[in-house]
A and B are shown apart, each in its own frame.
Chain A
Amino acid sequence: MRPDLSQLIDAAFERLQAGASIEECLRAYPEHAAELEPILRTAAAIKRQASAALPPSLEQWLVSGRHEIEQLARSAYARREPLPARLARSVHALFAGSFRRGAPRLASVVLSALIICAMTFYTVDAASASSLPGEYLYSWKLLSEQTRLALTSDPNQRAQLVAASVERRVAEIGTLTERAEADPAQLAETVDRLNAQVRQALAGLPETSPEVHDRTITRIGRLLVRAETDLRGATLPDAPASQTVESAAQAVAGLIDELPADNPVAPAVVVPAPPTPTIQATTTVVDGLPSPGAPAGGGATPITAPTSIASATPSALGDATALPTTTLPPTALPVDSPTSSATPTPSPSRTVVPSPTLAPPTRTAVPTLTPEAPISEPSPTAQPTSTPQPTSTPVPPINAPTLEPTAAPAPSATPTPTATSTPTATNTPMPSDTPTATNTPMPSDTPTATSTSTPTATSTPTSAPTVDTSPAGLQPILECVAKVNAERYIAYFGFRNNESAPIELRIGLKNSFDPKPNDRGQPTLFPEGRSAPYPQAAFSVVFDGDPLVWQLDGRTATASRNAQSCTN
């Protein structure tokens, strides 16, 4: 009877595979339906799981993992094949050349010597590849690695070589820990080497290309996690040994912590730029001119010239064009400042709305942003200065991504210019309204005129630059907390993306959890709008009830046992 049922199960499963429903399958075998049903449902559940879609983060990992595997294949294949092949070609060339020169005996001798040396070298080298600490050929293995590294000058190749060495150390740790009784001294020694090589790899990273940089950090991070796992799983003979290996595991954990926090797990996604980004330069100047609605205070005596510090902080994603965002927070120390306005809302009579060429008004601080780096540089910082000169008339920059604050306040004024601009190379701001000499203050020892000029320059660049994807509009949300038992809770989190495009934020400082681990299953891609509320929350985290903080781009959402409870 059993074999019959086995046949039936198989036949019914074939029907399921072909697209039939469970009920249809059962109808085909009515006399065995009761026995078949639970088994078929189990089979269907397994099949469903076997073909279920992977979580997005795992899908992303697959993409980045491909490079890693290819690199592993490359290094694995390069270790054994090319050396004798190259030697053979060299010997062949020498052999042929010697014969052409009529020196067959010399060629023969050299050929034999070379072949013997090469074969010896190759054999030893190949044998050493699988050697472990404490073994005879292990020193050769290390020497071979160092030699290869010394002969390589390209930073990217060097990074890959060092990462390959790190991988060998991790593999050695894995093999050592698999032994019935691991030798703690050998493990500690290998971890020391690992430590040195990871630091060597990190030291060389600044010279590598961004792609190699990210890939190397990712690779090393993953290897270190594996090493730590293996160390903690080692079978050890006694307590002192356990202590030694625990210290080694902690050293590896320390290395993991030292890796750059924004360790990219997946490639960055550039959010498409809006079609016509608006470059805004907002300048708020308080100078010696009267401001409508503002009381004209007299007797103000500036004692220091205003100093404007512009900091341009453009962000670039990958090779994208950077878009500098300039903020000019000038400082001035006036005495009895008549009026100071820092609002970006322009005053009606003193507001200029510049077109691409900025012709700043007289006695108006015209911010000049001169990024120190070209526009493709990621983090230029410009520090323009503003020099208050009562009668100066700054000339607007033409065809330059610069916006120079040149405050020209009257002696009686208290200039507090604040300029914020986001220029590009094609941006040539030009005010539509240029205040004329009527605003020119009279230099006076006792100035009485006070005005507030708040020009706002808004220009549209002729070409659309790539927009910084810094997710300023991301907000983490704690939906609620469900209690499982006294020591176990489930926090349901969501988010709100106030931007008009999806934002990707990898696991790292800006998308992390406190306490660690940073990666607790939170999303890395944040579609615009708000995520679905509980119970279809974006993700959930099991925790012990103590405060659990999700840090998302500078904002936090904290779950704890006292947080709002899930009601259903």
Chain B
Amino acid sequence: MAASEDLRELIQRAQTRDPTAISELYNRYAALVLRYLYLRVAEHELAQDLTQEVFIKVINAIGRFEYREEKAFLGWLYTIAANVLNSHRRRRRVLSTPIDARDDLIDHRSQDDARAITDRVAIEQALGQLTRDQQQVVTLRFFADLSNSEIAGMLQRTEGAIKAIQHRALQSLQKIMRREADEYAPPATAPRQRALLHAEREHVQPLVQPERPVAPLQSPAGD
């Protein structure tokens, strides 16, 4: 509770246009945002740029944010991150970088084991194939650690609807990842090469139909 009050005070300071409060918010939450974006885009520099963009939107939108508790703030922050990501993907769509032209899907600088690399590449690709609603729910559930009821409150949906979306999202992810693993992992291939092969496979169409559009959040920072 003390931490929550601390955050409330911090946000109040930010709302009075105190740059050091923004700096402190960054200090606390930038790693979460960066981790999320890095998993979603798998590029160091791009993840950094998008993280910065998220906080620029925080700077501009914090004045309109209504603080209730930390989880609500986290949900707000991740929603901005998801919006920034979507906006970036729209911008990049015209580039349509072929997947096999990218050599950045494997984290060159990580000391991760093969399983972690495989997981990351597979999840990054699979998440991108979910519907927007499913991505939003997965983001808030697994990254922001919100409960289904909290997500329901935030998205103005029933808790049952959120659970159903979560269920379908996990099912889709599992199917996509399994299909790709079956298709692209020859048994004698070294782990890192398997990861690369994962990365090189073509995009596939989403397996599920789009959900009913979710009402926008506070639409804090625009998009």
Contact = CB atoms under 8 A, between A and B. Distances in A.
A67 B23 CA distance: 7
A540 B108 contact: yes
A226 interface: yes
B133 to A, nearest CB: 15
Interface stretch (A1-9, A24-32, A196-204, A413-421): A1-9
Interface in B87-116: 91-92, 94-95, 103, 106-112, 116
Given A10-B148, A41-B174, A178-B91, A542 B106 contact: yes
A51 B38 CA distance: 12
B27 interface: yes
Contact of B142 (A43, A65, A484): A43
Interface in A27-84: 38-39, 41-43, 45-52, 54-59, 61-62, 65-74, 76-77, 81
A68 B52 CA distance: 9
Given A52-B35, A70-B20, 5 more contacts: A39-B167, A69-B23, A72-B55, A482-B192, A566-B190
A56 B119 CA distance: 19
A540 B23 contact: no
Contact of B95 (A6, A51, A70, A233): A233
Interface in B179-198: 190-193, 196-197
Contacts of A568: 190
Interface string A520-547: 1111000000000001100111110000
Contacts of B17: 77, 81
Contact of A58 (B48, B142, B197): B48
A67 B55 CA distance: 12
Contacts of B120: 49, 52
A382 to B, nearest CB: 41
Nearest to A521: B108
B74 interface: no
A540 B117 CA distance: 12
A568 B193 CA distance: 11
Interface of B: 17-20, 22-23, 26-27, 30-31, 34-36, 38-39, 44-45, 47-49, 51-52, 55-56, 59-60, 91-92, 94-95, 103, 106-112, 116, 119-120, 123, 138, 142-143, 148, 160, 163-164, 166-167, 170-171, 173-174, 177-178, 190-193, 196-197
Contact of A49 (B109, B123, B178): B123
Contact of A233 (B20, B60, B94, B116): B94
B192 A490 contact: yes
Contact of B19 (A70, A222, A519): A70
B109 A57 contact: yes
Given A54-B35, A74-B19, A178-B91, A484 B109 contact: no
A56 B31 CA distance: 12
A68 B53 CA distance: 12
Nearest to A167: B56
21 contacts: A3-B163, A3-B164, A10-B167, A50-B142, A51-B35, A52-B120, A58-B38, A58-B47, A62-B30, A68-B52, A69-B30, A73-B22, A225-B49, A230-B91, A233-B95, A482-B192, A490-B196, A519-B44, A519-B45, A523-B109, A536-B111
A483 to B, nearest CB: 9
A193 interface: no
Contacts of A148: none
A314 B95 CA distance: 48
A45 B119 contact: yes
Contact of A42 (B38, B39, B170): B170
B204 to A, nearest CB: 16
A530 B20 CA distance: 42
A71 B59 CA distance: 11
Given A61-B48, A70-B23, A233-B95, A43 B170 contact: yes
A70 to B, nearest CB: 4
Contact of B170 (A2, A39, A235, A488): A39
A339 interface: no
A226 B48 CA distance: 11
A68 B97 CA distance: 30
Contacts of A73: 19, 22-23, 59
Contacts of B47: 58
B192 A66 contact: no
B142 A6 contact: no
Contacts of A71: 19
Given A177-B91, A233-B94, A57 B44 contact: yes
A138 to B, nearest CB: 20
Contacts of B94: 233-235
A555 interface: no
- Which 10 A-B pairs give the minimum distances between C-beta atoms? A521-B108, A70-B23, A73-B19, A73-B22, A542-B103, A521-B109, A6-B167, A77-B17, A42-B174, A74-B19
A510 interface: no
A77 B19 contact: yes
B145 to A, nearest CB: 8
A496 interface: no
